[in-house]
Structure 1
Amino acid sequence: MLWVFRTCLCLLFAHCATSEVFLHTKDANQVLARHRRANSVFEELKKGDMERECREERCSYEEAREIFEDVQKTNEFWNVYVDGDACLSNPCLNKGLCKDAVGKYTCSCPELFRGYNCEIAIPQLCEDKNGGCDHFCKVDQKKGTALCSCAKGYNLAADKKTCTSDDPFKCGHVFPKGTRSITIHRPTENATNTGNGTSPINVSLDTLDVNTVKTNSSAKKNTNDTESQGDSWFGLIDPSIIVEEEPVLPVSCGVTRIVNGEECPPGECPWQALLMNEDKMGFCGGTILNEYFILSAAHCMNLSRSIIVIL
């Protein structure tokens, strides 16, 4: 009976000893999970294999380049292969585009943002497209914003950037066709030199022919001569015309015609030039294009044999 006990005890010790030295196949594969394949005879002549060279083994940059045979694709793979993809967490803010690199990443920031992660907002100041202002731009140092202002004759719109003209007949604005009623004052038949009686005449602008409106310079000498001027519409030397409605400029071919206009004070219109003849009489105007050219109307070129330009 004793020898049976000793035999069992020896077998138990033998089993424990062998279990510590040798591992089962399943356990051994957990340590050596992949088996390397031996190189074939013409291995160097074959195209690189991604699975064998970079998945089963640790490949170098040169081996990766041989696999892709393209520098850009190799760099894109290598940046992720070495230390992982840093752009997976989307570190770029404000819709910036992330590009991974070895040990770092770069962000391509959209307009008006900067910083390593596009976290800094850039205020649109005057140096950038005039701050969005139509005319003048000034930086508010306290608020760090752009303040817009307009030139004389213009008003700042509700958006605080656009300038609109306060001129009812501003350049480039086409007014609709229409008529206006005007009142022409002239003396009545019983008016005398000491009287100022007038009778209004309401006419339409469309029916009023400027060529039929005549005045006689001899009326300056004797006001009684007005009785003999039957072809005159009115007898006053300087008749006053009262506009009862808003004036409407004539429209021709969709382009507004500017009639008369206003004199520009000296220095207020630096783009204008005066064309003078040999007698130093101004006969036309022009617009300065550059230091060599003046733009003027075509008919002005035939009004004088020599033209003097006054700026």
Structure 2
Amino acid sequence: MSSVNMSAVLWSVGRENDFRFSVLASVFLPQPEALAVLQRQRRHNMGMFEEFLAGNVERECLEEKCDLEEAREAFENDERTMEFWAGYVDGDQCRSSPCQNKGECKDHVGKYTCTCPPGFTGINCEKVIAKQCDVSNGGCMHFCEPKGTLGVECQCAATYRLTKDGVSCEPEGEAFNVQCCSNSAIHLTLTTRAVSPRSLYTRHMSRNTSCPITDTQMEHKGRIVGGHEVTRGEIPWQVKNISEVKVFCGGSILNEKWVITAAHCLVDKAKGSFFVRAGEHDVQHVEGSEQDLEVAERFPHPLYAPRKNLYNHDIALLQLKTPIGFSSYARPICLGPKSFTETLLRSGEVATVSGWGQLHFQGRTSRTLQKVEVPYVERTDCQDSSSDRISRYMFCAGYPNAARDSCQGDSGGPHANLHQDTNAWFLTGIVSWGEECAKEGKYGVYTHISHYYRWIRYVMGMTQVSLVNFVDP
């Protein structure tokens, strides 16, 4: 009797005497079955050459260690082979999830690569790609300043402050809830100026906007030169400077206490007093929106030297004794930093010039506020057209053969451009001078406002940074 059968007999006879026999019996198996459990089934070539069989990953590389050629036979595809081989040889390099910011990891032999989502770069997608001001304005609501490797810095126009998100702007101070440079038509102010040796030109571009029309649409009649009458309230940052009941220049509202104008307007007013009128439209009618504000102090640019050149650095700031009450007819225009203003000026879009100046050379002045659209003129064309020198602090705008121009009385007023992304109007120039008005082959000349941005902010107390230079190169 075999040992297995004898165990069974002993267990059946004496199971109550010794339970240990039961345990021994339960693990014993017949020899063939026991061998099947203890011995691993070895793979063999089934009596034929293995090379004749189709590639199989399990047979080639999992049951035995394979080389790259054998793995290639199994996959029959180079890309799939290398994906497998990268993990087979040295493990999965992506197991630790090295790619940051939701980057996708791909394993390779001895290395990995990360495919980064938009906005990120670096070996592990750890670096944020710097924003660019020329792409969607850097995400800024008003204007964008490049900051090298730091990307961009968003800034806001005068009377606005930057919100916590770092890109949006909101009104501040007395200007709260007054959209100074929002989607309203350009707001410029041009008034008659004191007679000077040259006729002055102003150009500003006019645009259709979503600004509410406050009065019945006016009939287009008398012009700046080639322009037309604006709707009342269409250009609320336009003011005029008045001395002894006589309008002598225009200007633009920067905030409730400051107006910007041309420095040459102040040459004959060095000692006399004058005031600024905001909210004006028809000079022959009292419309209820007018505000007369006395000038407390005047600040011509420190480099302005009229005896040397009456129109170089032709810019001045006027500080008012009492603040302007903002309304639909009186509000400030936006002012941007140098790079922003330069880009906007050369954007290819026309600008708007406005004022109450003469309707033609040596003609009568306008009763109502006028505006005209004019394009920027390239510097070489500007210089070639002029009998006088055009400095780097000036630029030309207008048409060589079209009767559209600013004229005497418009000096000091704004040259403004609409920023399409924000639908806001920005001051890009100041009416300065020209040869007659709308003369063939001639253009209007304007003060290049972008060179004076830091000086303006410094004088207005908007920055405490000391100025090394009074102009930006």
Q: TM-score, normalised by structure 1?
A: 0.46
Determine which structure has greater relative contact order: mean sequence separation of CA pairs < 8 Å that are 6+ residues apart, divided by chain length: 2
Higher helix share goes to which structure?
Answer: 1
**Bigger Rg, which one:** 1
Q: TM-score, normalised by structure 2?
A: 0.32
